């Protein structure tokens, strides 16, 4: 294997690293700084091969517990600042992943901009924020990091001082000093309300200002003002699958706070717009529509008597203030100037109509230079995109809960005494009969289980949300563990109880029941389930009226179930098969991809992942979950958010409009090869994880899974049940634990068995050259192989009580890693990992010297903790090390 080139540190990392050293010296003392610097230098020398691991004292043994905590914080902060620097330098950016480049690429293929505009009229691209707990950093840490990013932008443009007169370098130093003195760990477990507020911060500070600006850019590139096709979504406050803390009150809180946030934003923007539009009738003509708005405003101020635009905005502000009060029950911070009584806006379209009247009036003079541009144009776009709900909130629950609730309703109503005993055909027949009846099942005189009352309260809160905020507030009800038609019909039964499903000819459904297929078996059955679902006349009528149906596919559980390669291939096959089912049903397919941050949970490049989707499955409509640390990484600043939303949009355009890249004969050969490779990989993965005696114990002792469960990073329990079976463990802590121990097993195990077992290397290289799916699959594999470290991972085996068992199982793991690396290098014709991706190679190798000491300290602290040492600093050190390693690895959860 060839040696790697020397690491070249970018200037931002050097600058920020030097300031961090100065901060540690100033606030921790010269002695601490020297100890940390010694450990850093020794680790860097080992990583560069200057000395062997046995030839130098690492300095770790000399650390006291207090020094250990300070050391871990120092390395964590360096990694955070390195991440910031790389994001600024575009290390993580997608080459060519912008809308302008996508339009040029399409135009070369004969696809005009007008064709793109036409497609966007019915498109939907939705990043959906979830509360999945993989973000270990406190919001305060992220806020300081973002402030540094803003200051670095000022430094880029040659500014020496901030607008407040502070020297830029000193202001950056101050923020790093604040980071050093900010407690990194949460003391209390997060509640749903905390998760709601965190999501609102991103929606308010990033999405609200960034999306209108992007639409302006896209409009210029298209030569046409496009529809609002990119709209954010959220699960937070509505995702109760395995989370007993999400209730009807949580749903109401999330929706109310979102309305308060977005309408408050509109009021602020209107106030500023009123200050801007100081146009006088003495100097400009004004349309009668604006005059009418001005006269109706109730603004009697003599100083504005010749300023109809300002008076019109006063009236709009007054009406929107009433809307704010109606939706939130609160009075806005700034009261209107109007003396007239105005009614609230009943919907966002009415507010938009008034704003558009002002824009049309401005368009009639001065060549329209004041009309759709600037603050007014951005506000109109924001109203179109965010409405009064800010982000569409999904509801999600487990199918097992639905069947128990429906069984309870049917029993109390005297319809069916034992619904759970019925087979699928009988269930479907009974549910269809109930859905056709206008009679409700619930009676005020019935005695229901607490679970039933809770679930009914949720759908009633959803119906209330539709009345208050509009139908876009909640459009989707996701069903975890869906594996049959009855699972979707049961949801419609619950929706019917709240008036959200209305029987008739045809029936109407205000909220779409969406199955989540997440295990390998679920994915294999998905096409057959959807075929039977579309075969129901009432479903066909509802789907035809809506124009599309969504299906969610889960990356995390399918990976835990079958391993990385079988997971991605099963998802690809299921999506391809579903496209045919939807085509036969005559409806558009909308796939919702449940991806996480780590490769084992569908992570990696969103741009590449969308382009790798089976041809014909995107169709201009795609939703993707954004979770945990990925939210801060992708949407922490306006600049990074704009780049990532551009990438998502450009990939969707290309995946929708480009011709199929594979020839039919190649498709047949490639698919057959993948079937063979996946089968071998699946067998190897299942053999290790589910069939190896003692593996469950090995996993729980080797990794910090138990200690991760103590982190206060989410409101949801780590397991769905009290069982310690891997099947019942949530995918997030499963992946996160392997990442901490530097194994990264969910991202690669079994792949080597599959690839090396397939003897036709020429065909595999042909697949890599011609097939985006295979390119994306191997690129993600290569990244996770490079981030794993078998030598470091082996040290965690010392934590396993049965050493013979531990060494035997780890031997299988190491063998699997070596097989995967050898196979990948052979297919890609490289002599070392990431040889053809130097920027990512540099990024990962830069971090390795800073991660290794953290792993070594974590192992020692875990030993002491598990031996019963009760010093609270040991537990804090473990939690800090988890935080620091996750920060350094970036996409580990």
Q: Each residue of 583-607: b (16+ CB within 10 Å) or e?
A: eebebbbbbbbbbbbbbbbbbbbbb
Helix axes 113-120, 638-657, angle to 10 degrees: 100
Question: What backbone torsions phi and psi does residue 501 show, to the nearest 5 degrees?
Answer: -130, 120
Taking the C-alpha atoms of residue 631 and residue 624, their distance in angstroms, rounded to an integer, is 12
Residues annotated catalytic, as ranges: 132, 560
DSSP 280-309: -TTTS---HHHHHHHHHT----GGGTT-HH
Taking the C-alpha atoms of residue 863 and residue 846, their distance in angstroms, rounded to an integer, is 28
| 153: helix, strand or coil | helix
Could you tell me the CA-to-CA distances from 756 to 39, 564, 783 in Å, in that order?
A: 40, 16, 19
| 652: helix, strand or coil | helix
CB-neighbour burial class of residue 108 (10 A; exposed 0-12, middle 13-18, buried 19+): exposed
Q: What are the percentages of helix, strand and coil residues in the chain, rounded to 5?
A: 65, 5, 30
Taking the C-alpha atoms of residue 813 and residue 218, their distance in angstroms, rounded to an integer, is 48
User: Over the Cα atoms of the chain, what is R_g?
Assistant: 29
| 588: helix, strand or coil | strand
Three-state helix/strand/coil letters over 590-629 = EEEEECCCCHHHCCCCHHHHHHCCCCCCCCCEEEEEEECH
**Contact, 287 vs 312, CB < 8 A?**
no
Can you name the residues that pair with 392 across neighbouring β-strands? 233
Helix axes 348-363, 288-296, angle to 10 degrees: 130
Q: What's the number of CA atoms in the CB half-sphere (13 Å) around residue 239?
A: 23
Q: What's the number of CA atoms in the CB half-sphere (13 Å) around residue 757?
A: 18
Residue carrying structure tokens 């505009």 = 117
Helix axes 208-222, 99-108, angle to 10 degrees: 30
| 477: helix, strand or coil | strand
**Contact, 527 vs 580, CB < 8 A?**
yes
**Contact, 410 vs 419, CB < 8 A?**
yes
Could you tell me the CA-to-CA distances from 839 to 17, 404, 713, 833, 836 in Å, in that order?
A: 19, 52, 31, 12, 9
């Amino acid at each position: 294997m060839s040696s790697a080139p020397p690491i070249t540190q970018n200037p931002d990392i050097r600058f920020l690293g030097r300031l961090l050293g100065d901060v540690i010296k100033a606030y921790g003392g010269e002695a601490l700084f020297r100890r940390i610097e010694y450990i850093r230098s020794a680790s860097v020398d080992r990583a560069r091969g200057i000395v062997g691991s046995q030839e130098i004292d690492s300095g770790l043994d000399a650390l006291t517990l207090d020094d250990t905590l300070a050391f871990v914080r120092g390395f964590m902060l360096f990694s955070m600042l390195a991440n910031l620097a790389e994001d600024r330098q575009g290390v993580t950016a997608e080459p060519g992943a912008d809308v302008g480049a996508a339009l040029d690429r399409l135009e070369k293929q004969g696809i005009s901009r007008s064709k793109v505009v036409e497609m966007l009229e019915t498109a939907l691209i939705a990043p959906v924020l979830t509360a999945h707990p993989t973000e270990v950093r406190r919001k305060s840490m992220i806020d300081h990091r973002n402030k540094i990013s803003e200051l670095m932008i000022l430094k880029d443009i040659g500014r020496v001082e901030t607008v407040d007169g502070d020297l830029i370098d000193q202001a950056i130093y101050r923020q790093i000093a604040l980071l050093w003195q900010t407690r990194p760990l949460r003391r209390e477990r997060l509640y749903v309300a905390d998760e709601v507020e965190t999501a609102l911060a991103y929606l308010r500070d990033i999405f609200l200002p960034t999306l209108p600006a992007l639409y302006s850019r896209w409009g210029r590139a298209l030569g046409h003002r496009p529809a609002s096709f990119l709209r954010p979504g959220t699960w937070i406050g509505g995702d109760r699958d395995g989370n007993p803390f999400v209730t009807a009150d949580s749903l109401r809180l999330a929706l109310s706070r979102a309305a308060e946030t977005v309408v408050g934003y509109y009021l602020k923007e209107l106030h500023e717009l009123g200050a801007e539009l100081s146009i006088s009738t003495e100097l400009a003509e004004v349309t009668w529509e604006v005059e009418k708005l001005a006269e109706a405003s109730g603004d009697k101020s003599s100083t504005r008597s010749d300023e109809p635009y300002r008076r019109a905005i006063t009236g709009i502000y007054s009406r929107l203030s009433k809307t704010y009060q109606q939706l939130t029950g609160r009075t806005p911070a700034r009261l209107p100037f109007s003396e007239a009584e105005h009614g609230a806006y009943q919907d966002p379209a009415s507010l938009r109509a008034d704003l558009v009247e002002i824009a049309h009036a401005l368009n009639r003079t001065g060549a329209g230079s004041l009309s759709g541009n600037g603050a007014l144009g951005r506000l109109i776009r924001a109203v179109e995109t965010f409405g009064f709900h800010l982000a569409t909130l999904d509801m999600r629950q487990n199918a097992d809960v639905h069947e128990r609730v429906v069984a309870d309703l049917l029993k109390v109503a005297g319809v069916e005494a034992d619904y759970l005993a019925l087979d699928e055909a009988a269930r479907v027949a009974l549910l269809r009969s109930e859905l056709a009846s206008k009679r409700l099942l619930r009676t005020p005189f019935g005695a229901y289980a607490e679970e039933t009352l809770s679930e009914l309260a949720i759908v009633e809160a959803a119906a209330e949300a539709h009345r208050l905020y509009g139908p876009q507030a909640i459009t989707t009800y996701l069903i975890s563990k869906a594996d049959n038609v009855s699972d979707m019909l049961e949801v419609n039964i619950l929706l019917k109880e709240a008036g959200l499903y209305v029987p008739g000819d045809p029936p109407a459904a205000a909220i779409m029941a969406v199955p989540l297929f997440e295990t390998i078996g679920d994915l294999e059955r998905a096409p057959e389930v959807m075929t039977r679902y579309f075969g129901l006349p009432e479903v066909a009528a509802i789907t035809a009226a809506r124009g599309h149906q969504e299906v969610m596919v889960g990356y995390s559980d399918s990976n835990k179930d079958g391993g990385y390669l079988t997971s991605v291939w099963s998802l690809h096959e299921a999506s391809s098969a579903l496209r045919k089912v939807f085509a036969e049903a005559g409806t558009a397919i909308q796939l919702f991809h449940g991806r996480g941050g780590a490769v084992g949970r569908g992570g990696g490049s969103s741009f590449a992942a969308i382009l790798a989707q089976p041809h014909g499955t995107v169709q201009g409509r795609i939703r993707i979950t954004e979770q945990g640390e990925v939210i801060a990484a992708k949407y922490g600043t306006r600049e990074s958010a704009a780049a990532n939303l551009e990438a998502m949009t450009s990939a969707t355009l290309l995946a929708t409009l480009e011709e199929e890249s594979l020839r039919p004969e190649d498709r047949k050969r490639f698919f057959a090869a993948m079937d063979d490779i996946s089968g071998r990989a699946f067998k190897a993965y299942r053999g290790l994880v589910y069939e190896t005696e003692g593996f469950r114990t090995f996993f729980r002792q080797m990794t910090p899974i138990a200690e991760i469960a103590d982190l206060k990073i989410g409101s949801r329990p780590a397991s769905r049940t009290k069982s310690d079976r891997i099947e019942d463990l949530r995918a997030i802590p499963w992946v996160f634990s392997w990442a901490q121990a530097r194994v990264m097993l969910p991202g690669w195990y079994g792949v080597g068995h599959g690839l090396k077992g397939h003897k036709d290397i020429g065909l595999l290289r042909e697949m890599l050259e011609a097939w985006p799916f295979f390119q994306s699959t191997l690129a993600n594999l290569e990244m996770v192989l490079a981030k794993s470290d078998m030598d470091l991972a082996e040290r965690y085996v010392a934590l396993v009580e049965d050493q013979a068992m531990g060494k035997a199982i780890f031997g299988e793991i190491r063998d699997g890693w070596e097989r995967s690396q050898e196979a990948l290098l052979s297919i890609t014709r490289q002599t070392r990992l990431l040889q053809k991706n130097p920027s990512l190679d540099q990024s990962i190798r830069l971090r390795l010297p800073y991660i290794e000491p953290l792993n070594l300290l974590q192992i020692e602290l875990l030993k002491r903790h598990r031996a019963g040492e009760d010093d609270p600093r040991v537990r804090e050190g473990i939690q800090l090390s988890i935080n620091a390693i996750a920060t350094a690895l970036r996409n580990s959860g």
